[in-house]
Each structure stands twice: as structure tokens, then as C-alpha cells.
Chains A and B, each alone.
Chain A
Amino acid sequence: MGTAAEAFKGFEKYSLKKNLPMVEPLAPGHRACQGCGEVLALRQVMKAIGENVIVSSATGCMEIITSPWPQTAWRVPWLHVAFENAAAVASGVEAAYKAMTRKGKIEDTNTTFLAVAGDGGTADIGLQALSGALERGHNFVYLCLDNEAYMNTGVQRSSSTPYGAMTTTSPPGKLSRGQETWKKDLPAIAAAHRIPYVATGSPAFPVDLMNKAKKASLVKGPAYLHVYSPCCTGWRMAPHLSVESARLVVETRVFPLYEVIDGQWILSRDIKKPKPVEEYLKPQRRFSHLTAEDVKTIQERVDANWERLMKLIAATTPEDKTE
């Protein structure tokens, strides 16, 4: 396993005006809902990684909408096995390529091995397989498309569902305010495996997301991408607000964009004057039952999380770079 810093040497960043990739490994003819932010994020990641890739997909929205036989939206090799094992399947594909290349059965083509899963397949049932694959150091990219609930089965809560959100298994009621627990911090869990590269992304910041996806693919070892993926259907939100929510979640500091490169936490986008979280929560009817007090509780948590992130950044910044 090499360091991320080594892998990024000579990496030419994508920029809006010069060199955005033209390839579309994910074809437009899929069956996602109107306004699906997840498929938008997936498209951006696939464009950045390119066509020399093998995708292992977990069961979930992206699997269902791209592969009802006899059609496929995939222009690159793609394999679906089950719900909880995208990281395990990718481990197998990667190991096979390693062995077969070494034994001269195939040429070394520097292929990227990409595992794709939703938040249920990552934060809950797939966490063990993910942890195993990260710990073993396979050379692969894990992409978590986080739409904050089990959307594919009808909007049930996951451990990535945010506090207060209404889902069909965390309904607000006389004794409940909706989801009672706080969103599991998956990027931090991934980073705790001391892998070379972890990053968060949002489809409202496509160039940032694409650069992170490309960087993840360059790393020799495990890389983890956690991408915020708006779900208009599950969030009870108008389809045209998808990208808007993906922007607001960053601007309110609810979902900060950062990278963890070789253990060093780096902010991708500083939000100096954050908007109040209420602006983010309001257009989504999954939060419509929340009281002013609930919103205040969420705001406090968001502020605390940001402070914690700042401390992590300061703590992992080399001394010669601190002011």
C-alpha cells in the first residue's frame, strides 16, 4: 500500500473550463426517480474514474435502476452480488487481478476496482465487509452514496439517517420526534482504519467531487468516498430542489466537505459564514414536524461537529504549516 501523497504526484486536477471528462460510463437510460441526486453523484464519480474500471455494486437504488434484465445502464464491467458485500466482492475482483497479472494470465492494465453501496449497505449491514476490506488493504475505491435511509425498500431509517428525520420506521408520533439517534460518522470510521484516502463529496460541487473520485482511483490501497446523495422521493422534497439541498447541506455546515490524506484532515471548502441549518431543513418535508427547539438542538450538534472537525484538522496539520 503506497501513500496517497505519492499517488497524487503529477495529478492534474479537473477544472470546469479545461478538462472535464467527456466519458459517460453510466449511460443516461436508467430508471431513477425524477430529481435523483444519487444517480447524479454516481454519474459524476464514474465520469471522473473513467472506463478502465470494474464496478461491484451492492443491492440498492443504483443497482435496481441500472440493471433490470435485459437492459443495463453500465458501459463498464459491472457485477451485483448482494446487499452487504460490495466491499467483499471488490476484494475478490482485485485479488483475482493481482494473482492473474502476477501469473502472466492477463496484462497489467491498472484497472480501478470500485465498490458502490448506499448508506444501508455501508453504515449498517455492510459495515463488517467494508471494515474487513479496508483493514486488509485491498487496492480499491469504496463509494458510499448516502441518501440517508433505505430508499429502495420504501424509506426506512438507517444508522445514517439524520436526527429528527421522518422515515417509515422512524415516524414522528406522540412519543417520537422521528429518528432519535444521530447520523453515524462513516467517513471517520473509514479514516480510523488508517487508509490512505478518505473524502466527502456532494453532487452540488461536481468538480470537487470528480477530483476526489479521480484521486481515490489513483491511490494504491483502499480509498473511501462518502457522497451526500439527495433523495427527493424519500425526503419528501420537490425534484428541482435536489442540487439545491446538496449545496445547502454544505453551506450550513451540516455536511462538511473534506479529505483525509494519509491521516491528515483537510477542509475542501471553508464555510466562513454558515447559513442557519433551518434553511437546509425547511424544504424537506421529512423534517417538517420538527419544533423550533428540535432545530436548535440540531444547530448545536452541527456547530459542535464543525468545531470537532476544526480540531481534527489542526491536530493533524504538520507543525511547519501551522501559523
Chain B
Amino acid sequence: MAKRLGVEVSIAVAEAAKQCNVDVISAYPITPQTHIVEHLSELVADGELDAEFIPVESEHTAMSTCVGASAAGARTFTATSSQGLALMVEILYIASALRLPVVMSMVNRALSGPISIWNDHCDLMLSRDTGWIQTVAENGQEAYDLIFHAYRVAEDHRVLLPVIVNLDGFTLSHVIEPIEYFDQAEVDSYLKPYVPAMRLDPKHPITMGPVGMPEVYTEARKAQEEAIKAARPVIAEAWQAFGDQFGRYYRAVESYQMDGAETVLITMGSIGETAMTAVDEMRSRGKKVGLLRIRLFRPFPVEELRKALKGVKRVGVIDRALPFGASGGPVAAEVRSALYHQTDRPFVYNYIAGLGGRDVTVENFEEMASELESLEKSELTEFYKIINVRE
């Protein structure tokens, strides 16, 4: 039977990796990811987890060792944040191109400068186009659950892609929550041992990572694009199996109070919980407000969003990253793009919020929701706004 314990979310993530019986963990300390790998190194030191823990000299090497280990056939785990992700991002592209099912938890944190250790989604967006499947946890239980899901999806021979499980730094990673830990037997029945499709073995020599001449590069990239699209049903199937086994059913896009909603907020990550409180407040005052929470960021759930937003009048997308000189936040850009080719599409506006650890409050969400109505009718010159800026 599963047991429920009050535990720091980082520790729960490490325990999940342990229960997945990973073979190789390679990590470099970076705030606020540190508690995850510290706990894993303790588990290895105490003999509770039989794995190689490689305390590397940089995040670039952390990802490089993961690629080597995964290519050799080991189940491989690492974790990172912010600047660490920025340093390893070169190898992220290669891990996915080599179709290696590495799993990484990314404890989301702002990027320099100015240096900030606090939460936003700059790092998540920096890894956006690297070819990794990306899920985003909203609370501690999800951060724990999504690790098992990640391995099941990544190692499925129909997928064979690396997975990032995102969780917000500090506001989630360092919070103590009641987490339902699974029995090992349950985990073992959900997640089968890793069977590599190919691995480095002198008995069966293969060449991995050859040169791609112009004659083949486009085809290789297209194959990768097809692979991540083909992962979509497998991701859903793995969540279905997870629900059947553990009783919690997850979807790519989660709906909250969407019945008859005219105004909809879209969030990603732990601020969804605050947004839910705001929606409850507004609903209690008779406002037709709903919330969508994006759990699957890559591949982007275009169809799910279109379906969920059918008949909705106005949408406020909350981004926690600011791409300089762009036409707004990245999530909003994708939502707009997903809806554009529909004849009956809602008005979409973008709020940039919560950069570098700035609080996003219930009141903020209420203001956004009520402002959308007037914005919709006005002549806009900008399609996004950074909120909570001290002028």
C-alpha cells in the first residue's frame, strides 16, 4: 500500500528516481536543484540505491555523462536549474537526436542577469526547442508522479526520447507537502526495466552520432520531429495506465471551472494553484472564469487547447519568461498560433508575471481576468504586458 508522508518535494523527486532503480546519476550542484541530487547521493552512500553517482565538474559534463551512460544502456538521471541548464543545453540537443531516454528534473529558476536564484521559467524556455519531451508539475505529488511517467514514456520503443520534468524552484522544490509514496512493487509493475533499442556493446558494434551531410541532415531532423509527435499518444497512454494503477488521472491540459467559462486564464506550473483560488473567488461572485493548466509543454498540446477553448470569449495567458524583442511570452505565442487558423477564435492577451521570484497573487489573477474584458474592446498596440512592475 502507498503511504502518505510529509516531505520536502525535492526529497520526493529523489525518492522517485530511486524507486525507478536508476543505474547512473550524474550531477553538479546548482540552486535550487541541489536537494534532489544531495538526497540521491545519500541514498547511494547508504546502499539504498545501487547506482553510480558521478559528482561531475560541470553541468555540461553532467549531461555528457548521461548521454554516454544512456548510450551504454543504463537508466540515467540528472537534475538542473537555470545557469546549469544554460551550460548543458548544447548536449540536450544531442541527447534527443541520439534518441536516448535520459530523464532530468529541472527545478525552474531565472537566468542571469542580474543573477537570481529564484523561480521563473526562463530555463524551461531555453530548453524549449531541444527535442526533449517536457512535462510541468503543479504540486509536489505531481513532481513525484511525473518521474515514473517520464521513464515509462522515454524508454517506450515507440518514443525513445529524453524527458524533462519541470518543477518550480523553491515555491515547489523546497516546500514540505504530504506526498503519497508508492510501494516498490507497484512501481515495478508500472515501470518495466529499461531495454535499450540499441546500445554500445563490443559484441554488436554500432556507430552512434555520425556526421550528417546536407544530403541527410533535413531527413534526420524530420525524423526527430515525427518521433516527438508520435510520442503524444504514448504520453497519454502512460498517464491512463498511471491513473488506472495509482488513481490519479493526468492530462496534457487540465481544466478547472471551465463549464460555461467566458474568460479563461492559462498557467503552467505551481502558480496554477494560486490561480485556482482566484477562479474560485471570482466564480463565487458569479463571474464566468475558468482556468487551463498546461502540464505537457512538449509536444505542445495544440488539439487539447483548441478543444478546451471552444466557445471561450477571451483568454489571458500567463508567461513566466520574457523573450526580449519578441511579440510576447512564449506560451502565449504558442497558444495564439494554435488558435489562429480557427474561424471562431477567442481574444488572446498575454501577461508576463512572476519573473525572478516575484509573487503572483490571487489579486493579480483577478485583475487580469477582469481587465481582459476591457482590453478585448480596446485598440491594442501591444499584445502583452509585464505585471507587478514598480515604476
Residues of A that sit less than 8 Å from B by CB: 51-54, 56, 63-64, 67-70, 72, 74-82, 84-85, 88-100, 102-103, 105-106, 109, 111, 128-129, 131-132, 135-136
Contacts and interface: CB of A to CB of B under 8 A. Distances in A.
Contacts of B211: 63-64, 67-69
Lowest 3 A-B CB distances belong to which pairs?
Answer: A92-B68, A132-B57, A92-B65
17 contacts: A63-B211, A67-B211, A69-B211, A72-B207, A84-B60, A92-B26, A92-B67, A92-B70, A92-B72, A94-B68, A95-B52, A96-B23, A96-B24, A96-B69, A99-B24, A132-B57, A136-B55
B34 interface: no
Given A89-B65, A92-B24, A96-B74, A129 B57 contact: yes
A125 to B, nearest CB: 10
Given A89-B67, A132-B57, A136-B54, A99 B207 contact: no
Main secondary structure of the interface of A (DSSP, over half): mixed
A64 B23 CA distance: 32
Given A80-B209, A95-B24, A95-B74, A56 B68 contact: yes
Interface in B61-88: 61, 64-74, 76
Given A88-B61, A89-B67, A136-B56, 13 more contacts: A54-B72, A68-B210, A69-B220, A77-B205, A78-B206, A78-B207, A79-B200, A82-B64, A82-B94, A91-B61, A95-B65, A96-B73, A129-B60
B50 A99 contact: yes
A109 B206 CA distance: 17
Contacts of B90: 82
A79 B71 contact: yes
Contact of A93 (B56, B69, B216): B69
Given A69-B212, A82-B94, A129-B60, A96 B68 contact: yes
Given A88-B68, A93-B68, A99-B52, A132 B207 contact: no
A131 B60 CA distance: 14
B202 interface: yes
Contact of B209 (A53, A81, A135): A81
Given A54-B202, A92-B68, A100-B73, A81 B94 contact: yes
B208 to A, nearest CB: 4
Interface in B22-45: 23-24, 26
Interface of B: 23-24, 26, 50-52, 54-58, 60-61, 64-74, 76, 90-91, 94, 98, 200-213, 216, 220
Contacts, number: 163
A31 to B, nearest CB: 10
A132 B24 CA distance: 17
A72 B211 CA distance: 10
Nearest to A131: B57
A52 B202 contact: yes
A205 B133 CA distance: 50
Contacts of A69: 210-213, 216, 220
B57 A79 contact: no
Contacts of B98: 81
Among B70, B98, B209, B220, chain A packs the most CB atoms within 10 A around the CB of B209
A202 B247 CA distance: 65
A90 B210 contact: no
Contacts of A90: 68
Contacts of B207: 67, 72, 74, 77-78
B117 to A, nearest CB: 23
Given A56-B68, A85-B64, A100 B205 contact: no
Contacts of A103: 23, 50
Contacts of B52: 95-96, 98-99
B66 A92 contact: yes
A77 B201 contact: yes
B57 A128 contact: yes
A51 B61 CA distance: 27
Given A69-B213, A96-B69, A100-B73, A78 B64 contact: no
A93 B71 contact: yes
A80 B206 CA distance: 11
Contacts of A128: 57-58, 61
B222 to A, nearest CB: 15
B72 A93 contact: yes
A149 to B, nearest CB: 21
B91 A76 contact: no
